[in-house]
Amino acid sequence: MRFSDKVAVVTGGAHGIGRSTVQRFLDEGARVAILDFDSAAAADLAAAAPGRAIAVLCNVLDPGSVDAAVASVAERFGGIDVLASVAGGELPTDDPMDEAYWDGIVGLNLRGPVRMIRACTPHLTASRGSIVLVSSVNALVAFSSLAYSSAKAGLGILAKNLAVELGPSGVRVNVVAPGTVRTRVWDDQEGGADRLAPLCPIGRVGEPEDIAAAIAFLASADASWITGVTLPVDGGQTAGPLTIINHLQRSEP
């Protein structure tokens, strides 16, 4: 019950990693605001924890939507102790260098979290709270997806700068960098997420609950002397090239 009497805001909280993060905070005693563009799915999740979870429509691409959502949460719950910025993802494109595509990717994966941080900081300063941003192993090694990788990499240096800037106010800022995780983005892909299991030394792809556990740790008092770090949670995918080499050798006829 590390989050008893705490209020957590989770963006992208209706699905996947965000949904598991919401559940983890609830299980550990928090009141949780589920911010998502999919208001119906967010409402369904909130209904399972009446009085302790609320669904708030939020589009992180829209500064006005972000400000209104955060104000609504603070009014309803009386403050904010944790921001878990999970919302993000790839976008379809035929041209990975297209200007509009880059604007969309950066807007969703970097500027969106910045908007959330800006809106939540006064409340987090008052509560001496914590920020956890969700990046990707794509920010750490070259796994393709140039725009996505670049935007996610920006979260790491953002966290370092904010850790220095907000530290004197008691606010910690950290990043979780998931590897391959079994979420709905894999549903229509041949072999699903499990086709990448051989690239994980630990022998399996991640589950949303694996990432939620790391987010909860970094947000909690157990990590009270940790700030400005990026924690890979990837089953060893970024540990080194040996796993990939071994996989390719085993795949040879």
Position 198 pLDDT exceeds 90? no
Q: How far is CA 193 from CA 12, 21, 82, in A?
A: 20, 20, 30
The pLDDT of residue 191 is 77
Residue-wise pLDDT tens digits, 64-92? 999 999 999 999 999 999 999 999 999 98
- 194, two tokens: 């499990």
- Which is nearest to 159 in space by CA: 216, 113, 104? 113
Residue-wise pLDDT tens digits, 32-54? 999 999 999 999 999 999 999 99
Distance (Å, whole) CA 44 – CA 200: 34
Q: How far is CA 203 from the centre of its chain?
A: 23
Q: 16, 90 in Cβ contact below 8 A?
A: no
Question: Regarding the domain with residue range 7-251, which homologous superfamily does it belong to in the CATH classification?
Answer: NAD(P)-binding Rossmann-like Domain (3.40.50.720)
Distance (Å, whole) CA 174 – CA 215: 9
Contact residues for 194 (Cβ-Cβ < 8 A; gap 6+): 182, 205
- Which is nearest to 3 in space by CA: 30, 36, 37? 30
**DSSP bridge pairs for 178:** 233
The pLDDT of residue 244 is 63
- SS3 category, 148: helix
Helix orientation angle between 16-27 and 208-219, rounded to the nearest 10 degrees: 50
Distance (Å, whole) CA 197 – CA 203: 6
| pTM of the full structure | 0.93
Active site residues: 148, 152
The structural domains of the chain, with segments of one domain joined by +, span: 7-251
